[in-house]
């Protein structure tokens, strides 16, 4: 049984991980950590609660954190001190803060991902094959998210674009965000990016590769936060018992790929 400590447990992702864990016989949430002000939230998962990770964390436990920058840094420091593994999903860290999290992986296993969907990890693996096989096809990326999303395009769409840019030997200025006006024929050395906003879409990413008389669509749709929660649990199972090091979801899915 893998002992999981949830940081940010009262939040939207923390609750989604707790729900997914309650249906998984291989993991047990042994403690929930959140800021004191959110303790007692009626929607929060049951069990042992604390506002202080160090008071509930044991060696060999796996921390799953979706708690924002501060909680992420506290978790990295505490896990490195205690020899507990860390599955970390908070976004919005500065490069210097990311470096602190990376450093903690010198002392303990750390799995860090900006998108914990296993489907997106598989899409990236499939995209690598398609980009190598179709080096002169046009690439357009379309992403759809709910109307409340503040940033466009999404971080995941940019990560997919970076993968395509690198494969083509291009850099960020080659990304064209939407098109308007008499632009003439499409140059080969550009990648189109289109951010659609509206309704309640959780996350929809589509990479289109267009050839002369055919085209290919690689598309992933996240229906709810359960997609990220299941990826985080798969990550916890992958990390349990591993040596110190920095891991990604690519490592998690590699073992599952039929060669």
Among 3, 24, 74, 170, binds ligand NAD (CB under 6 A): 74
Helix 69-82 to helix 95-104 angle (10° resolution) is 20
Longest alpha-carbon distance in the chain: 63
142 forms part of the interface with ligand NAD (CB under 6 A): no
Catalytic residue check, 205: no
Do 154 and 143 meet the contact criterion of CB atoms below 8 Å apart? yes
* Residue linked to tokens 């632009």: 183
43 half-sphere exposure, CB direction, 13 A CA radius: 9
Residue 68 or 83 having the CB closest to ligand NAD: 68
The rounded distance, in Å, linking the Cα atoms of 181 and 183 is 6
User: Is residue 45 part of the contact set for ligand NAD (CB under 6 A)?
Assistant: no
Is 248 among the residues that bind ligand NAD (CB under 6 A)? Answer: no
Q: Is 116 in the site for ligand NAD (CB under 6 A)?
A: yes
Give the sheet arrangement for strand 49-50, strand by strand: 49-50, 27-33, 2-7, 62-65, 85-88, 109-112, 245-247
Q: How far apart are CA 242 and CA 85, in angstroms?
A: 8
**Is 149 considered catalytic here?**
yes
67 touches ligand NAD by CB under 6 A: yes
Residue nearest ligand NAD, CB atom distance:
11
Between strands 175-177 and 138-145, the pairing is unpaired
**Residue 221 within binding range of ligand NAD, rule CB under 6 A:** no
68 lies in the site for ligand NAD, by CB under 6 A: yes
Asked if residue 235 binds ligand NAD (CB under 6 A), the reply is no
Which one of residues 5, 6, 13, 209 is an interface residue with ligand NAD (CB under 6 A)?
13
Among 89, 119, 153, 192, binds ligand NAD (CB under 6 A): 89
Q: Which span sits near ligand NAD by CB under 6 A: 34-42, 102-110, 134-142, 166-174?
A: 34-42
| Residues taking part in catalysis | 145, 149
Would you tell me which residues interact with ligand NAD (CB under 6 A)?
A: 7-8, 10-14, 33-35, 38, 66-68, 70-71, 74, 89-92, 113-116, 228
């Amino acid at each position: 049984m893998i002992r999981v400590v949830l940081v940010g447990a009262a939040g939207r992702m923390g609750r989604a991980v707790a729900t997914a864990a309650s249906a998984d016989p291989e993991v047990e949430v042994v403690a929930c950590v959140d800021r004191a002000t959110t303790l007692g939230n009626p929607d929060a998962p049951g069990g042992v609660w604390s506002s202080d990770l160090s008071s509930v964390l044991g060696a060999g436990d796996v921390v799953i954190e979706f708690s924002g920058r501060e909680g992420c840094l506290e978790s990295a420091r505490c896990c490195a001190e205690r020899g507990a593994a860390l599955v970390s999903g908070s976004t919005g860290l500065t490069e210097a803060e990311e470096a602190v999290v990376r450093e903690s992986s010198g002392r303990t296993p750390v799995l860090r991902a900006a998108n914990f969907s296993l489907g997106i990890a598989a899409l990236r693996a499939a995209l690598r094959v398609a980009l190598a096989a179709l080096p002169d096809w046009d690439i357009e990326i379309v992403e759809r998210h709910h109307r409340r999303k503040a940033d466009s395009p999404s971080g995941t769409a940019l990560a997919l674009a970076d993968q395509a840019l690198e494969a083509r030997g291009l850099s960020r200025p080659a990304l064209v965000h939407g098109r308007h006006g008499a632009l003439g024929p499409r140059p080969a050395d550009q990648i189109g990016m289109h951010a659609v906003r509206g309704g309640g879409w959780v996350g929809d990413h589509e990479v289109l590769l267009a050839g002369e008389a055919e085209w290919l669509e690689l598309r992933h749709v996240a229906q709810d936060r359960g997609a990220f929660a299941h990826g985080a649990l798969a990550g916890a199972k992958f990390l349990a018992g591993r040596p110190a090091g920095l891991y990604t979801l690519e490592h998690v899915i590699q073992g599952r790929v039929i060669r």
